[in-house]
Amino acid sequence: MLRVFQTDLLNTDDFIITLELVPGKESVGRSVDTVMGIAKDSFSDGRISAVSITDNPGGNPSLSPDVMGYEIFKVGMDVIVHFACRDLNRVGMESRALQLAMMGIKNLLALTGDYTGKGFGGQGAPVFDLDSVNLLMMLKQLGERMNESGDPDGFFSGCAVSPFKYTEAECFAQYAKLCRKISAGAQFVITQLGYDAYKFAELFSMLQLAGIDIPVIGSTYVLTPRAARIMNQGAVPGAVVTDKLLKQVEVEWRDSRQGRKKAVERIAKLGAILKGLGYRGMHIGGIHHNFDIAGRTLSRMQEIGPGWKEFLTEFDFPVYGGFYVFPKDGIYDLPVPEFGKKPPPLGISEKIHFKILKSLHGAFFSFESKAAPFFSKLCGWLDGRPGGKQMVHQFESFIKKLLLGCEQCGDCGIQHVAFLCPESQCPKHTRNGACGGSRNGKCEIFPERQCVWVRAYRRLAFSGESDQMMVGCVPPRMWELNNTPSWLNFHLKRDHQSLSTGLLKFCESEECTLTRGFYGQSQGTEE
């Protein structure tokens, strides 16, 4: 079986190249022929380790990356299939993973995914039953099962991260979730898209500071004015093109031949920077018509050679007033991170809400509490009485709807999100950390409101507990408890905190040492 990508990536002497291919909406015809043509040319060229196949990008329907990947796999080109959590529940996702394994496709990029777009008859229902951390846990456990069944190869699972965040809270949330992803089984990392060399260096410096050796691939893209404008407007979640860069691209493309030449030069120089920083490879997107630009880029990279530092000033595209984990002038010296030195402001109402719920949770929902045996007996008595469960459910729903916008999931996860509800306040229901789609601290789906994980970080930084965002893994919601009282479920040990203890501790045995990079911070203090 083909294992070119994994072999190349784990060879520390290689700087590998991968291409991102985007299937169209047809099962036959020009779009399929174009993607297959690029894949065949990539294989013939010999400098590409793998092509990656997107999974309904933007949440819009397209040809399955599984069947497209399988056809490319048969050509001889290794593939990485994007695996998003948006469209299938956990049962469908496990079935899909087993199907891919049987097809011989083992390189998977685990993604929470873009929010759902429009399909037949309108917008599709978003699923997000699992998040990327849960998906990585599932793939790791499936791989172990496959090994026991006689398949020597498990999945080679990767994850995404965006260093291109420019608020302290978003930066911390990205790196904290990366920590959980690595602990959950991620074996390689691909960045989201940006053109700020200092941010590329920041990510690699964070991993070095923590002593983590995981292969990281940096993303690049063939920027045309149209693509640059779309990204500049925030229409591609996680991709950052600043106003300064957009203007530069528009000037370059006044002459299309000159524009293509500049696009090749930009990717080649950024590739040289990534290689110089210590990245294991470069991921090229925006190759839509033929292999030509990719081939020219690789040839130009070979001409450039090792003189990468002279290009750094060409990739200085910061966001005005943006946060950097390290001072720009000392980023290569691995100083103490800037997290928590100036704790983000927390409003009075947020402080009061956080303190009250934290105190109540500690008093009434801790198995370590002296009153825990009493609560267990009381809940058992209420649970067994006619109308007792309904009475508790109605009272709990009233209180938690008022304080949290509760959606009555029956398996409460507020303690994982600084006492904010991940069901009602995150469209993707993430319990393990932020997705990559936030922009300037705002939610990808509802830009008029703050990302719930930005709010969570501010609360935890205020109390000196921001490390909670990276320790352990949070199991997925138990749907069998939907519309039942979570208070009873907790004390009667029916929720994820009791029945999913194996998953709760999943990451603890692989605790991410990235914490060392964060614990140097000067945390906030409760007032």
4-316, CATH topology level? TIM Barrel (3.20.20)
User: What distances in angstroms separate CA 21 from CA 24, 93, 161, 208, 294, one per listed residue?
Assistant: 10, 22, 19, 31, 12
| pLDDT tens-digit map of 89-122 | 999 999 999 999 999 999 999 999 999 999 999 9
The per-residue pLDDT for range 223-255, each reduced to its tens digit, is 999 999 999 999 999 999 999 999 999 999 999
pLDDT 10s digits, 320-372: 889 998 877 655 565 667 787 777 788 999 999 999 999 999 999 999 989 99
Q: How far apart, in Å, do the first and last CA atoms of the chain sit?
A: 60
What amino acid occupies position 366?
S
Percent of the chain with pLDDT over 70: 94
- The number of residues making up the chain comes to 527
- Write down the pLDDT at residue 502: 75
Query: What rounded mean pLDDT belongs to the chain?
Result: 91
Residue 521: band (very low, low, confident or very high) from pLDDT cuts 50, 70, 90? very low
- Here the tokens at position 254 are 């006044």
Closest alpha carbon to 441 in 452, 426, 428, 430: 452
* Residue 108: both structure tokens together: 């998977």
φ/ψ of residue 102, rounded to 5? -65, -30
Region 173-189: what's the mean pLDDT? Answer: 94
Q: What percent of the chain has pLDDT over 90?
A: 76
| pLDDT at residue 519 greater than cutoff 60 | no
DSSP β-bridge partners for residue 158: 109, 188
Amino acid 342: pLDDT: 72
Classified as helix, coil or strand, 192 is strand
Beta-carbon contacts of 434 under 8 Å, excluding residues fewer than 6 positions away, are 170, 173, 174, 177, 451, 453, 454
13-66 pLDDT, tens per residue? 889 999 999 999 988 888 899 999 999 999 999 999 999 999 999 889 999 999
Q: Which is it for strands 107-111 and 79-84: parallel, antiparallel or unpaired? A: parallel
403-450 pLDDT, tens digit each = 999 999 999 999 999 999 999 999 999 999 999 999 999 999 999 999
Q: pTM for this one?
A: 0.94
Q: Report the greatest alpha carbon distance in the chain.
A: 79
User: Tokens for 408?
Assistant: 């009555």
pLDDT of residue 513: 53
Q: How far apart are CA 419 and CA 265, in angstroms?
A: 48
Structure tokens at 480: 């069998």
DSSP assignment string, 77-138: --EEEEEESSS--HHHHHHHHHHHHHHT--EEEEE--PPP-EETTEEPPP--SS-HHHHHHH
CA distance 130 to 143: 18
Look up residue 112 and give its two tokens: 């929470």
DSSP 481: G
Q: How far apart are CA 134 and CA 112, in angstroms?
A: 9
CA distance readout (Å), 17 to 64, 212, 470: 23, 22, 30
DSSP string, 209-266: HHT----EEEEEE---HHHHHHHHTT-STT----HHHHHHHHHHTTSHHHHHHHHHHH
Give pLDDT, residue 527: 43
Q: Is 523 helix (H, G, I), strand (E, B) or coil?
A: coil
pLDDT at residue 164, as a whole number: 96
What is the SS3 assignment for 51? Answer: strand
Domain extents in the chain:
4-316, 348-518
Token look-up 């950024």 returns 270
Range with lowest mean pLDDT among 7-16, 39-48, 290-299, 508-517:
508-517
Residue at token pair 């070979």 = 302
Question: CB of 173 within 8 A of CB of 454?
Answer: yes
The secondary structure of residue 522, as a DSSP letter, is -
Q: What angle do CA 241, 111, 190 make, to 5 degrees?
A: 55
159 φ, ψ to 5°? -140, 170
Q: What is the DSSP string of 378-389?
A: HHHHHHTSTTHH
φ, ψ for residue 131, nearest 5 deg: -110, 180
| pLDDT for position 483 | 96
